């Protein structure tokens, strides 16, 4: 696998090695030993999957300690613009974001360690997203930052009115959020 660092410390793009022939293709979507050696030595305890329509924005989600989560995100079908925001108060990149297109075609994955909020916008007609987490979901520890916080300034690629849950639309701004 190929691992590429992003502008946010610890957030990495993971590209699996693809083996193609006349029958189709094969790739290892996850190998714990290789991931541990090249990206992070973390346990994954839960897999989550979502299906969304074009224009849906999900996020920006995270969990606070002691249930903070790292996530390894990939797309099974379709295409998304995946976004990560640094919410570590002592980080020199606090409040900054990075984004990448993840798709079933490019097979890229995004590693998001604890200390970052995560969200995405669906670019294709539909998308199926799956992600591994390093801790279990906990309603008590779940938090969100508003997807369109002007202080963060995410440049979402689809300039349409997003389809967004009430919970995500009512999330606090970064300045008022409970952070890790």
Which residues are catalytically annotated?
Answer: 61, 131
All residues at 6 or more sequence positions from 6 whose CB lies less than 8 Å from its CB, including other chains: 12, 13, 84, 98, 100
H/E stretch holding 73:
strand 71-77
Cβ-based burial of 21 (10 A; exposed 0-12, middle 13-18, buried ≥19): exposed
Element (H, E) at 127: strand 126-133
Query: Which run of H or E residues covers position 33?
Result: helix 32-38
- How are strands ordered across the β-sheet holding 12-15? 2-5, 12-15, 109-112, 71-77, 126-133, 46-53
Q: Using the 8-state DSSP alphabet, how is residue 16 labeled? A: -
- What CA–CA distance (Å, rounded) separates 9 from 128? 27
């Amino acid at each position: 696998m190929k691992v590429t660092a992003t502008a946010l410390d610890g957030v990495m793009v993971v590209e699996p090695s693809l083996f193609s022939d006349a029958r189709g293709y094969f790739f290892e979507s996850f190998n714990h030993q290789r991931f541990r050696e090249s990206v992070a030595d973390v346990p994954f305890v839960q897999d989550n999957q979502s299906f969304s329509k074009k224009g849906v924005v999900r996020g920006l989600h995270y969990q606070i300690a002691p249930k903070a989560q790292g996530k390894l995100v990939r797309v099974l079908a379709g295409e998304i613009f995946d976004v990560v925001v640094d919410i570590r108060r002592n980080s020199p990149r606090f409040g900054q974001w990075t984004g990448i297109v993840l798709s079933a075609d490019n097979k890229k994955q995004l590693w998001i360690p604890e200390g970052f909020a995560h969200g995405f916008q669906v670019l294709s007609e539909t998308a199926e997203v799956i992600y591994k987490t390093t801790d279990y979901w906990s309603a008590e520890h779940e938090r969100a930052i508003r997807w369109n916080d002007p202080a963060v300034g995410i440049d979402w690629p689809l300039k349409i009115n997003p389809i967004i849950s009430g919970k995500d639309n009512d999330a606090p701004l970064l300045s008022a959020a409970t952070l890790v």
